[in-house]
Every structure is written in structure tokens, then in C-alpha cells.
């Protein structure tokens, strides 16, 4: 096969054919995008704006050729843009469309805090590294700037020209300063004097008052002043940091308004009364801005003696990391923007001029300030089988294994397993991993109760779950105070596996009950994220989970597992083996993988090789995907789609057809380098009816023609639509109707 491919590399005609296929796929996808009205125009413009690379010029027969790989960061941006597209989808309730627009801001914040910060650090310190796509970090940065500037401008246009007017039609009003009545202005003045002015500390800039250290993502104002103060100073500039304790949205009293819900921004109040913060001086201009900083926590693992203490020290520094982005009101004079850029050691490429509030994510409070139930998704009650309502859950699991699909099915049985274990005198020990849970949760309450009742409770807490570090430190303290044994896993390998083990004495012997999941032990996200929960009393599975806990809490060689596969030891190699097995089946091979990210090069190359053998490969990848589908001779048998809907798709499922004897695994791991090689993860097999059920779910997602986006070989996506006369299918809505109420 290799010799044949090398001969083909010299065949110019074949090269040109592949080029035409890639270009043709992009053109055909654009032509098919005949969505109506504004959404259609926006989607087409978005597609043109976010193509990752130009089509390849030559046939890349070497499966390591950079032309075969999409850049990770640019693919990540595409996911965020697909989220933004939901703000234009009129099939979503209006308030949910606004939430999608705000989630885009939140996602972009993290993208800059982590991904862009890493690229900037590489360039600053001369340690540039390239991925399999071979794009230099500076080229990636340039493309990020182009894409983000275009999409942020588009985001504010959607907010100002679509969302705000439609909220107005629903009697939800954002009052501008020019529209305040005298009565409203007087109420706002009192609010300023009583609630705002006492906690605001304006800072005049002069040699004794240098530019302040501003907290990451905080709302601030730069003020132009005219005149001298009481000490004769006339620097002409001041900074007003808006305290985070103040709400960004304030509801006006109903008796001062003509009806509906009326709100004003904190920024409007500060603008209106800026003069009063600088008595005797004239405010020539007041402009809001926000700085985004590097928020990644880094430390030398070889020098860490106490991980918890090290993290506590690093958390404070996160607020003041190196600046990576400046957002300013687009009306800010250029001389002030240049001044801010100098202060933050940034240049024009890192500047975003916005037409509205610079801290949009704080607008999420709107949902709690107005009566908008009719503008939100209809509430639902997750399904709950009668088998869990009356019986002891240990009796249920002794009869047969259980599989739950959240949020369509309730997370309560998982919590009940722990609650019953905490109270059951037959239960001797409980072991649990926690990644993102929260200090105050049903899961933690049950663990605390179990520890206080004298059971052996061991909890592996991953302190380094990004942006949950502080919460996890508090969680660790609470569990330790209750008497639980708390460990933090392995310093160089994040513990991302979702495992619970209950050891119970039954009829003179010890029986293990296990829970394994694709998502976190968090009752809140269990209503927002799609995940699988697997509960079993299978002895082999229980023993495997026990061995993994041994590796996490103790020390020793790799332990051989009977049924589970675990990273960083066996999961990656097992996936390669199973892909290669399907490749040997050729056209009879079938692979379906549903994950959140696909970036690991070895797995991608294995999929390319399987495609070349004729294997049908269907990938459902919510976010980042480095693989290019649809390249003749390489990946024409691979399709990639992304589902974006009401719930965040979070399940990780691997299906291998194996000529009618399929292997089905669920896992905590995405197909990314960090998951397969640098984290503790689990992959657990399902058999019988449980495997059939998961396969049925996968088929439903593959049939989705309303919430799925197809990835093209040029790196762009298009929204799937039903053909004329074809039934509209939404996987999430179908599952919700099957299980929820």
C-alpha cells in the first residue's frame, strides 16, 4: 500500500483531482446553505470568515502531512462561532438566544485566558511550537485576530439590531441615559449615592498614583479630566474600577416606569455621575474598558511539596497575569486606546472595539431580574424509572446493570446510591473521584454524612480542574473536617475519571457496587449536559475500579485490569487496536465515535488509514477537530458532525462494529492528547441491551438534521437541514420527549 501511495504522489493528475474535490466540497456546501432571511446571510458570512486554511495544493499522501490537519485553536474558535449562530436561530426561545450570545462571550474569555495566552507566551519567550498542521504560532495569532474581530463585531450587531429590539417587543427595556425621566434620574441618583459611590475608588493618575493593577476581566473606566484638583494636580486622566460586588444590571422600580421590565446598566450610572467622583473638575469623557489576562496556572511539579498549598498561592496571581486582550468602547478616543495599550504592553492586534457593554457575560443576570418564563425553554422533569422509587438501590443493581442518559433521565439514582450507602450499616467503605462538583452539593453532603457515621470514605479531588480550583480547595477542607481521607491524585496527571465505589458486606462477603460516568458528579450540570451514568455490581468492574483507586491513592506498578481501560496506560493503545481491527474488516468495518474533541494525531492517522481501507467512520465531535474529512484517497469515508442545541453535548462513546459483534464503550475521555496521555481516565464497556441502547442513541444523533453541523475538508461547517418532504429530527428533543415530562 505504501509503495502504491508513493507512486501516486508523482501523479499530478491525481493531485489536481483531490484539490478539485476539496474546493468542490466547499462550493457545494455554500450553495446548499439556503437558510432564510438574516440567519442565512449571517451563516454564509460566518462560513466565509472562518475557513481555517486554503485547500491543499498537492495530494498529501504522507498521513503526517500538515495539509491533513486543521489547526486546533482555529477549530476551537469555530465551535464558539457555532454557539453564536444559535442567537439567530428563531426556533430557540428569545431569552435562550440571548444566553447563547452571552455564552459565546464567556467561551471567548476562556479562549483568550488560556489558548491565546499560551500562544503569546510562546512568541514572547521564543519557544514557539507547532502542531501537526505546522502553522507557526504567529500565523495562528494573526488568523485568530481576524476571526475574533469579525465575530465580536457581528455579536454586538446581533445584540443591538436583533436581540434588544425583540426584547423591546416583549416589554423588556434597557433604558438609555437620554431616555431617563426626571423621576427615574432622581431614583438613580439616590442609588448612586447610597450603593455605588461608597464602594467605588476612583484613581487619579500622577507620579504618586501610578496606573493601578486591574483585576482580570473587571469592568473599568478611563476618564479624561480638565482642571486642577485640591492639590494642584492636573494629570488629565483617571481610572474608575467598578467593584465586582455591584450588579451590572439594575432594575428600575415599576412605579417609575410605563410598564414592562425596565433595566439600566451600572456603566450608565457611572457615566452619568462621573463628575461627582472628581469634585471641582470637569469630566471631558468617560469610556469603559476591560482587560483579559493569562489565567492558566503553572508550576514546576518537581518542586511541589504540597499541591494544595501551591495552588492557593497561585490562585491570587491568576487575577493579575499578563494582559492578552483589551476591550474598549468603540467611542474611546484613539489617544486613550494607545495609552491603555502601552500600560498593558499590548499592541493594536490585541484590541477589540465594541458597540456596547464590555462585560456581556454579566448580563446573564437578566433571567433572574425579569419575568421571562414564556421566553425560555419549557421546564422539564427528567425521567425516573419506577424501579428506583421504592426499592433499595443495591437490590436493583444486584438484579442487573443500569444505564442512565442525563439530562433526559434523572441524576437522582446516582445521588441516592451514595445517600443509601452513607446510611446503610452494611456499607463499610466509599471511594469517589471529584472533578467539578461544588462545595455544597448533594454528593458532598452524602460523603460528609458517610464520613461522620464512621465509614471509610476516600475522596480523590482533582484540585486543578480549571477555574474550579478554589472551590475544590474548599471542598477538600470540608471533607477533611468530616473525617474523610482526601488525596489529590497524581501531580503530573489530572484525575478526570468519574468513578464511585461502594463496598458492602452481604452474607459474610464483600460486594462492590460501582458507578462510572462520562460527566461530573454535579447535579446542576446533570440537567444541562448530556452524559451517561453506568451503575453495576459486576465483580470484575468493581475490582478494576478498586485497582484504579489503588493507583491514585498509593504507589506501585501498573495493575492489569479485566474489563476497563484506563489512561494514561491502556486506553489510547486499545483505541488504536480497535481502529486497526475495523481496518482489517475493510468495507465491512464501521466506527462511530461521539466525543467533545478530536486532536490526538496518532488516533487521527489510524482513522485515515481505516478510511483508506474502506471503513465507514462517523464522528460526532462537538468542539475541536483536527481531522479533515472528505479528502479523496485519505478520508472520503469519514464524516464529522457537531451537535449544538439546548443541552451541552458531553457524552463520550466509542462504537466499533466488529462485523456484527460490536464493542461499545463509554468513557470520561475525549480523543485528545491531554485525555489519552496526560490524564487519569476510564473507558468502560457496555454489553447486551445497554450497548444496543447506546447504539440507538448514536443512530439518532447521526440522523439529526436540525441541530447538527457538518465539517468540510476546508475546515468550515454548514448546518444540516431536512430535504424537502423529509422529517425534521432533533436528537435532543426526541430524547427529551421519550424520557422527560
State how beta strands 616-621 and 590-595 pair: parallel
Cβ(144)–Cβ(120) below 8 Å: no
- DSSP class per residue in 17-83: HHHHHHHHHHHHHHHH----HHHHHHHHHHHHH---SPPPSS---STT-GGGB--HHHHHHHHHHHH
- Asked whether the beta carbons of 497 and 682 are under 8 A apart, the reply is yes
> How far is Cα 414 from Cα 382, in angstroms, rounded to an integer?
13
Q: Write 343-348 long-range contacts (CB < 8 A, 24+).
A: 343/211, 344/291
Q: What's the longest Cα–Cα distance across the chain?
A: 87
Helix, strand or coil for residue 616? strand
> Please, which residues bridge with residue 351 across strands?
326
Active site residue 496: yes
- 456's enclosing H/E stretch is strand 456-461
Interior angle at CA 217, CA 475 and CA 233, nearest 5: 125
d(CA 546, CA 499): 10
Please tell me the distance from the alpha carbon of residue 351 to that of residue 113, in angstroms, as a whole number.
15
Q: In the beta sheet, which residues pair with residue 593?
A: 619, 654
Locate the DSSP E strands across 106-260.
172-174, 203-204, 219-226, 237-241, 249-251
What are the angstrom distances between the C-alpha of 720 and each of 394, 635, 639, 641, 644?
A: 44, 20, 13, 9, 11
456 exposed, middle or buried (CB, 10 Å; 0-12, 13-18, 19+)?
middle
Q: How far apart are CA 418 and CA 641, in angstroms?
A: 36
Annotated active-site residue in 496, 565, 590, 650: 496
| Residues with catalytic function | 496
Amino acid at each position: 500500500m505504501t509503495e502504491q501511495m508513493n507512486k501516486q504522489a508523482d501523479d499530478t493528475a491525481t493531485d489536481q483531482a483531490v484539490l478539485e474535490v476539496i474546493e468542490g466540497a466547499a462550493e457545494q456546501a455554500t450553495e446548499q446553505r439556503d437558510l432564510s432571511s438574516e440567519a442565512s446571510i449571517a451563516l454564509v458570512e460566518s462560513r466565509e470568515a472562518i475557513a481555517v486554511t486554503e485547500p491543499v495544493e498537492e495530494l498529501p499522501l504522507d498521513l503526517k502531512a500538515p495539509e491533513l490537519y486543521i489547526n486546533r485553536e482555529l477549530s476551537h474558535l469555530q465551535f464558539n462561532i457555532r454557539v453564536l449562530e444559535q442567537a439567530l436561530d428563531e426556533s430557540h426561545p428569545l431569552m435562550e438566544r440571548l444566553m447563547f450570545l452571552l455564552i459565546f462571550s464567556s467561551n471567548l474569555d476562556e479562549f483568550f485566558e488560556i489558548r491565546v495566552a499560551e500562544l503569546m507566551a510562546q512568541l514572547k519567550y521564543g519557544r514557539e511550537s507547532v502542531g501537526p498542521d505546522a502553522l507557526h504560532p504567529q500565523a495562528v495569532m494573526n488568523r485568530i485576530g481576524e476571526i475574533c474581530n469579525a465575530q465580536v463585531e457581528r455579536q454586538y450587531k446581533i445584540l443591538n439590531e436583533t436581540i434588544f429590539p425583540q426584547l423591546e417587543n416583549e416589554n423588556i427595556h434597557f433604558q438609555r441615559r437620554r431616555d431617563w425621566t426626571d423621576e427615574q434620574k432622581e431614583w438613580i441618583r439616590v442609588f448612586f449615592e447610597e450603593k455605588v459611590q461608597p464602594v467605588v475608588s476612583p484613581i487619579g493618575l500622577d507620579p504618586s498614583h501610578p496606573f493601578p493593577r486591574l483585576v482580570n476581566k473587571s469592568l473599568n473606566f478611563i476618564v479624561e479630566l480638565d482642571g486642577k484638583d485640591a492639590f494642584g494636580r492636573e494629570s488629565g486622566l483617571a481610572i474608575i474600577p467598578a467593584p465586582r460586588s455591584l450588579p451590572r444590571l439594575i432594575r428600575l422600580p415599576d412605579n417609575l416606569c410605563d410598564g414592562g421590565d425596565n433595566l439600566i446598566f451600572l456603566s450608565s450610572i457611572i457615566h452619568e455621575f462621573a463628575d461627582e467622583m472628581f469634585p471641582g473638575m470637569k469630566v471631558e469623557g468617560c469610556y469603559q474598558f476591560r482587560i483579559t489576562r493569562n489565567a492558566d496556572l503553572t508550576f514546576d511539579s518537581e518542586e511541589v511539596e504540597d499541591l494544595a498549598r501551591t495552588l492557593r498561592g497561585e490562585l491570587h496571581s491568576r487575577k493579575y497575569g499578563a494582559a492578552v486582550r483589551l476591550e474598549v468602547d468603540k467611542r474611546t478616543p484613539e489617544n486613550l486606546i494607545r495609552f491603555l495599550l502601552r500600560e498593558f504592553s499590548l499592541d493594536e492586534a490585541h484590541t477589540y472595539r465594541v458597540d456596547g457593554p464590555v462585560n456581556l457575560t454579566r448580563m446573564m443576570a437578566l433571567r433572574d431580574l425579569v419575568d421571562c418564563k414564556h421566553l425560555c425553554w419549557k421546564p422539564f422533569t427528567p425521567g425516573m424509572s419506577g424501579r428506583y422509587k421504592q426499592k433499595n438501590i443495591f437490590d436493583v443493581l444486584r438484579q442487573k446493570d443500569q444505564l442512565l442518559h442525563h439530562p433526559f433521565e434523572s441524576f437522582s439514582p446516582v445521588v441516592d446510591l451514595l445517600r443509601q450507602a452513607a446510611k446503610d450499616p452494611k456499607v463499610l467503605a466509599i471511594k469517589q473521584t471529584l472533578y467539578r462538583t461544588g462545595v455544597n452539593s448533594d454528593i458532598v453532603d452524602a460523603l460528609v454524612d458517610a464520613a461522620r457515621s464512621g465509614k471509610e470514605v476516600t475522596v480523590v479531588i482533582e484540585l486543578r480542574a480549571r477555574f474550579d480550583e478554589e472551590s475544590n480547595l474548599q471542598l477538600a477542607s470540608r471533607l477533611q473536617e468530616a473525617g474523610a481521607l482526601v488525596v489529590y491524585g497524581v501531580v503530573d496527571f489530572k484525575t478526570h475519571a468519574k468513578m464511585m465505589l461502594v463496598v458492602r458486606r452481604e452474607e459474610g462477603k464483600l460486594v462492590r457496587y460501582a458507578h462510572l460516568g462520562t460527566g461530573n458528579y454535579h447535579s446542576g450540570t446533570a440537567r444541562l449536559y448530556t452524559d451517561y451514568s453506568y451503575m453495576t455490581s459486576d465483580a470484575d468492574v468493581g475490582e478494576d475500579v478498586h485497582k484504579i483507586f489503588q493507583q491514585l491513592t498509593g504507589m506501585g506498578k501498573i495493575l492489569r485490569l479485566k474489563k476497563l481501560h484506563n489512561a494514561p496506560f491502556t486506553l489510547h493503545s486499545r483505541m488504536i487496536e480497535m481502529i486497526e481491527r475495523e481496518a482489517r474488516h475493510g468495507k465491512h468495518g464501521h466506527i462511530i465515535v461521539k466525543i467533545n474533541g478530536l486532536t490526538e494525531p496518532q488516533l487521527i492517522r489510524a482513522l485515515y488509514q481505516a478510511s483508506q481501507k474502506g471503513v465507514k467512520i462517523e464522528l460526532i465531535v462537538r468542539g475541536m477537530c483536527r481531522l479533515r474529512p472528505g479528502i479523496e484517497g485519505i478520508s472520503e469515508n469519514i464524516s464529522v458532525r457537531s451537535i449544538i442545541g439546548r443541552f451541552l453535548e458531553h457524552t463520550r462513546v466509542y462504537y466499533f462494529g466488529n462485523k456484527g459483534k460490536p464493542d461499545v464503550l463509554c468513557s470520561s475521555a475525549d480523543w485528545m492528547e491531554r485525555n489519552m496521555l496526560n490524564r487519569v481516565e476510564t473507558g468502560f464497556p457496555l454489553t447486551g441491551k445497554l450497548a444496543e441502547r447506546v447504539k440507538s442513541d448514536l443512530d439518532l444523533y447521526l440522523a439529526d438534521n436540525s441541530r447538527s453541523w457538518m465539517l468540510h475538508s476546508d475546515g468550515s461547517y454548514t448546518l444540516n437541514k431536512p430535504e424537502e418532504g423529509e422529517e425534521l429530527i432533533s436528537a435532543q428533543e426526541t430524547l427529551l420527549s421519550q424520557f422527560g415530562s
